[in-house]
Amino acid sequence: MEQRRLGRTDVQVSTLCLGTMTFGEQNSEAEGHAQMDYAFEKGINFLDAAELYPIPAKKETQGRTERIIGTWFRNSGHRDQVVLATKVVGRTVMDWFRDNREKGELNRKQIEFAVDRSLKNLQTDYIDLYQIHWPDRNVSGFGSNPSRWQDAEAVEDENSIQSTLEIMGDLVKAGKVRHIGVSNESAWGTMRYVTTSELYDVPRIASIQNAYSMVNRTFETGLAEVSRRENVGLLAYSSLAQGYLTGKYRHGALPTGARKTLFNKMQRYEHPRTFEAVDAYCALAKEAGLDPAQMAIAFAKSRSFMTSVIIGATRMEQLETDIAAADLSLNEDVLGKIDAIHQEFGNTAP
């Protein structure tokens, strides 16, 4: 499998990254281990997790995903062959991430607590890429690329980007973290991280993990240029629009065991124009003789600002289909038709 450089670091990661947020909820430990075994055999050397996982976020399940990865490292012996990414929560009203029931924020005490617990859960003494899951500040909309701006009230005790980077720098110096990244960040926030690292003796972010798919290309409006010029590569999540671009939810279908069927928390993708856009993309895939999921992943992989596309599955056959997209390159005719559909429908699910 092709590998790409992670930011300006010396780390090479596979163009597909195995997302693990179903481990511990929709997938058992044995199923999670089987997915990681298969992905590793197929050339994926990149795993993405978070202290929050599995999804949906619940006090009762928090940390299970990292613990499942930890037992896989212990059993497989593959830790030194894998680039491991995980995340610390940003500011949140959820109060079960810390032992003292503090609401989450990016201060020193909480970040140090989070990284130490993640290291224990993951059964490792270092994290290759430690990411800020979402900003400490209030933003216009989650994901920070809204198609319509809404003013966000400032947080009185907001932790600055400089202070966050200083804390991360200490984690790097301590050997607990190799590199750092951001997630659900805006163009302004990303540039603040970059310029702060240039002005002070703090680590430089290597990546940004944001949503990106054929129904949500808002990353291209401001962040793509930042990504390209500053070497902050995109780690794309939801490139299948949480399953919608596979076609499995078309015409109101609710497959057994699917996330929407179980949790009904996918309103981000449930707009009339999104359904129409999904129909158009699925029709194009059929016309081109392509699997719709593979076309969506291959499209994301083709972007010049893309470092790695995060894939996730609950069933092994889904994972096999997704990983097979690593060998798929879309021709100019298909890429042009994808652009034409986007021109008609736009970003229906930002």
- Residues 249-254: contacts with CB within 8 Å, 24+ apart? 250/275, 250/278, 250/279, 250/282
Per the annotation, the verdict on 126 as an active-site residue is no
Catalytic residue among 53, 193, 249, 269: 53
Distance separating alpha carbons of residues 132 and 299, to the nearest angstrom: 26
At 308 the three-state DSSP class reads strand
Pair 168, 110: CB distance under 8 Å: no
Q: Longest Cα pair distance anywhere in the chain, in angstroms?
A: 56
C-alpha distances (whole Å) from 149 to each of 135, 144, 187, 274, 303 are: 17, 10, 14, 20, 26
Look at residues 125, 3, 20 and name the one whose alpha carbon lies nearest to residue 65. 20
C-beta neighbour count of 117 within 10 angstroms: 17
Catalytic residue set = 53
